[in-house]
Amino acid sequence: MATQYQPLDLEKSSGLTRHLPTLSPHSYSLLRLAKDVVLLSLAVPGLISLLCPALVCEGVSSSVSTLKSSVDPTICNCGSSVAEALSLGCKYDSLAAAWLPEPCRDDALTAEFERSGDAPNGQWSYWADLNHTQELSLEELGKKGDDPSFRFYTTAEWHRVHCAFFWRKMFRSHISGVIIEPRFDNEEHVIHCGSVLLHTAVDDKGARAGVSFRSD
């Protein structure tokens, strides 16, 4: 039976498949980790509200809101071609499936993501075709951004691990100062990833996505 594919949310598709394959032990570990990150992110504001005087906290909240509203929504964009992206100091980020400038990358986390694959060597597998006959290296994959119609194919496990790692990136950004790309820094992506991690089925659906230069 041919593998079925679901488009990733980063393609802004409204027809996402809700059901995904049964989670492997590796995925359950990631899900537990994601749960801990979410619980911690919910607990920290509550702790601050208990320890921080109202007037001071109001000032902190106001400063955070001002900072967020002052961030240029195009700050994570990298032009419209590989050559332009390189000239802007951008790198292909496999976690985001996009070219990103340094302020928007968590290189250490992306490197960990690239070692968390479901292939025997711990890497992720990417293909240029539905039938998995044209395997791509990360370097080759990044260069495919010059073709707006290009879509790569990968495993459902990649999709789940992408979600778990992106939640970590969002949490780590509070300490690292990394800017989260606007296309992922929203509740819609959180809801989507929750569905990816929680809705499972016995069928084997992979995932497909393009290579982006724009992350606004």
Domain ranges of the chain: 72-216
Range 140-168 average pLDDT: 96
Least confident of 16-20, 80-84, 187-191: 16-20
Task: Find, among 26, 15, 211, the residue nearest to 117 by Cα.
Answer: 26
Instruction: Give the Cα separation of 114 and 29 in Å (integer).
Output: 17
pLDDT tens-digit map of 85-133 = 999 999 999 999 999 999 999 999 999 999 999 998 999 999 999 999 9
pLDDT tens readout for residues 162-183: 999 999 999 999 999 999 999 9
User: What tokens does 71 get?
Assistant: 């961030």
Residue 7 has pLDDT above 90, yes or no: no
